Amino acid sequence: MEVNLTRVDEDFHFVATGASGVEINIDGSPEIGGHNAGARPMEMLLMGLGGCSAIDVIQILIKKRQQIDSFKINVKAEREQGELPSVFKQIHIHFILGGPLEELKVQQAIQLSMDKYCSVAAILYKTATISYTFELEK
């Protein structure tokens, strides 16, 4: 796997490109001189966690013959304060799924993703406690 970053301005704005060719803007916060022109690197880690798990959960639920009409994820995290580097210590993921889904199958799919399949979660478990909940919308 390879990604490339190209600096866009004289501050902290970069365009990152992965093997897929998709470009993502990255920037620092205004507090350090950034311009809000892209996601922060630590936000991207949480986005990666949500995306990785979402792909797993959808694949598992399809195999379990479940119909997913809607799917949202909310990820909240707390970083270690006053330390450098300031790593994530607590992460909570809330899954919100809609459709004629069986609650037990959704619970199993999420658990399998978080405990077995999601590579991003496996990395983040090394520094953070990750918890998760879910709800089904009708």
Q: Domain of residue 57: give its range.
A: 41-136
Same domain? For 77 and 130 the reply is yes
CATH of the domain at 108: 3.30.300.20
Same domain? For 95 and 120 the reply is yes
Same domain? For 51 and 92 the reply is yes
Confidence tier at 138 by pLDDT (50, 70, 90)? confident
**What pTM value is reported for the model?**
0.93
Query: Whose CA is closest to 97, among 125, 46, 132?
Result: 132
> Does 52 have pLDDT greater than 80?
yes
Same domain? For 1 and 67 the reply is no
> Does 54 have pLDDT greater than 90?
yes
Same domain? For 7 and 50 the reply is no
| pLDDT, tens digit (0-9, with 9 covering 90-100), for 55-97 | 999 999 999 999 999 999 999 999 999 999 999 999 999 999 9
| pLDDT, tens digit (0-9, with 9 covering 90-100), for 24-41 | 999 999 999 999 999 999
Same domain? For 7 and 70 the reply is no
Alpha-carbon distance of 101 to 138, in angstroms, equals 9
Cis peptide before 85 (omega within 30 of 0): yes
| pLDDT, tens digit (0-9, with 9 covering 90-100), for 95-109 | 999 999 999 999 999
Structural domain total, the chain: 2
Same domain? For 81 and 34 the reply is no
Same domain? For 22 and 69 the reply is no
Confidence tier at 21 by pLDDT (50, 70, 90)? very high
- Assign 3-class secondary structure to the chain: CCEEEEECCCCCCEEEEECCCCEEEECCCHHHCCCCCCECHHHHHHHHHHHHHHHHHHHHHHHCCCCCCEEEEEEEEEECCCCCCCCEEEEEEEEEEECCCCHHHHHHHHHHHHHHHCHHHHHHCCCCEEEEEEEEEC
Same domain? For 78 and 33 the reply is no
- Give the mean model confidence (pLDDT) for residues 109-115: 98
Same domain? For 129 and 92 the reply is yes
Same domain? For 45 and 33 the reply is no
Alpha-carbon distance of 20 to 81, in angstroms, equals 35
Same domain? For 94 and 68 the reply is yes
